[in-house]
Structure 1
Amino acid sequence: MKILTEADFRSSTWSGGTTTQLIISPEGASLEERNFDWRISTAVVKTEVSDFTVFHGYERILIPLKGKLEMEHRTPNGVIRQDVSEFELARFSGEWSTKGKGKITDFNIFFKPVYHPKLHISHFSGETEVVLPETTDMVFLESGSCTAGIRFIHAPALLLIEDSEKVQLACSKDSRIISIELDLVD
C-alpha cells in the first residue's frame, strides 16, 4: 500500500475557487492537456454561483463533503437540475455546461467512459476495525485518522492499494472514508 498525503497533492485555482489534485492516471498526465484516463481531486467552491469547467470525453462524479450544491446542467436534450446534499453522489457528463449554486467543499472523480467507478462512503462514530474488500483500489481518508498495520494515517490522505492486497484499517472515532473501485467497463 502506498499512502499519499498533503505533501503529495497539487493545488491550483479555477474560476470558482481552488482544486486539489489527489492523483491522476497515468502518472505524469495533465489536467490542462486532457491526456489523463482518470483524476481524483477535492475542490473548495468559494463563490455562491460558479461555472464548472467543461471536460469533453469525460464523465464526472461529485460528492459534497461540506455544504449543499444545486446544479443546472445544459444537455443536448434540455436542462437537468440536480440538488446534492452532503455525502450524496452526483454523476454527470463532463461535456455538459454546468452551473453550480452553493459554497461547498467537494470530492471529485473525472474519468473516461471506459471506467466504471464504484464509491462507498463510511462514517465511523466510534473506533472501528475495517477490512477492505479486495476489489478496493483506493481509499480517501476524508476526516479523522486510521492505522494500517504500524502506519498511522491522518486525514486528508489517499491510500493506494496493490492488486489483491488485504487491507485492514483501525479507524478512530469520527473518521470518514471514501472507498473507490475503478474498474474498466466490460
Structure 2
Amino acid sequence: MKYRIIDRQQHKYREWSGGKSTELYIYPEDANYLERHFLWRVSYATVDADKTSFTPLYGVKRWIMPLESPLLLMHKNDMQPLYDISVKPYEAHCFKGEWETVSYGKTNDFNLMLKEGAYGILKHYKVPSDQEIVLSKIFPESFDERLPLYQRRLSMGIYCIEEPIEILHPEGLLILPKEQLFLMDYQYEEGYQLANFLIRHQAERSVNIVLFFVSY
C-alpha cells in the first residue's frame, strides 16, 4: 500500500474555455492530458462564465461535482437532445465525454475522468465535528465486492475543501491541508487495512470532503 499527499507544487494549471483548471493527479503520472494519453484524471476547476461548452472527450466517462453553486447541464448526442439536469452542490453527476454538453451557472467543481479500462466513483461526505469516522463507513462503495476489484490496481483519494482534516492510519497521524489531495494506491488484499483508517478534524462545525475510488 502506498499513500501520500499531492500538494500544490505537484498540481498543473491551465485555462479552459469556461475558466481555470487545476490538474490534481493524472495516471500514469507521465501522461499528457492535452494529448488524451491518460487512464484516469482528477481535477478542480472554476466555471467563470454564465454559459460554457465542455470539451469533447471521446471514450471518456466523466464525473462532475459542483462545490459552490448548482450547474444546469444540457446534454446532446449527434445534435439530438438527450436530457437536461440541474446538479446541486456536492451532488455527483456521471455522463459520457463525447456528448455535446453545455453548462449554465458559475461555480467551482471537482472532476473525475475515466478512460476505458478504468471504473470509478465520485462522492461527497460531511464529516461531523468532534467525531472519528471509519473510512469504510464514509465510502462503503469502494469496499463492495461486487465491483471489479480482484487482481486490479486500486486508488482512493480524499480532497479537502474547507478545513484541514486528520487521517489516522497504521503508521500514525497525517494532516491533510485545505485544497490538497490524499491519494492511496493499494491491491485488493490490502483493502482491510484501508477500511480502518480514521477521519477527523478540529473544526467546530461539520466539514465537507470529496472522495473518489478508481479500479483499473
**TM-score scaled by length of structure 1:** 0.90
User: Structure 1 unaligned runs (5+)?
Assistant: none
In structure 2, C-alpha distance between the alignment counterparts of 1:114 and 1:69, rounded to whole Å: 28
Q: In the aligned structure 1, how far is the partner of 2:13 from the partner of 2:38?
A: 17
For residues 49 and 162 of structure 1, the distance between their equivalents in structure 2, rounded to whole angstroms, comes to 37
Indicate whether 1:177 and 2:179 are aligned: no
Runs of 5+ unmatched residues, structure 2: 137-141, 144-154
CA drift at 1:67: 0.7
Q: Secondary structure at the match of 1:126?
A: coil
Instruction: Specify the alignment match of 2:146 in structure 1.
Output: none
- 8 Å CA contact 1:128–1:172 kept in 2: the answer is no
On the 8 A contact 2:127/2:133 being kept in 1, the answer is no
State the number of aligned residues. Answer: 184
Which of 83, 88, 99 pairs up with 2:86? 83
What is aligned with 1:113? 116
Instruction: State the percentage of identical aligned residues.
Output: 26
Look up the match of 1:74: 76
1:24 is aligned to 26
2:122–2:213 Cα contact (<8 Å) kept = yes
User: Which one of 158, 162, 180 corresponds to residue 143 of structure 1?
Assistant: 162
The structure where strand makes up a greater share of residues is 1
Asked if the contact 2:66–2:89 (Cα under 8 Å) also holds between the matched residues in 1, the reply is yes
1:28-78 alpha-carbon deviations (Å, 9 max, x no partner): 101100000011001101000011111111010000001111111111483
Following the alignment from structure 2 to structure 1, what is the Cα–Cα distance between the partners of residues 210 and 185? 17
Give the C-alpha shift of residue 127 in structure 1. 2.7
Answer yes or no: is the 8 Å Cα contact 1:63–1:106 preserved in 2: yes
Are 2:177 and 1:154 equivalent residues in the alignment? yes
CA distance in 2, matches of 1:88, 1:45: 16
SS at the partner of 1:118?
strand
Residue of structure 2 equivalent to 1:103: 106
In the aligned structure 1, how far is the partner of 2:84 from the partner of 2:182? 34
Amino acid at match of 1:126: S
Give TM-score, length-normalised by structure 2: 0.79
Two-structure CA RMSD over aligned residues (Å): 1.8
Contact 2:60/2:96 (<8 A) preserved:
yes
Q: Is the 8 A contact 1:62 1:109 kept in 2?
A: yes
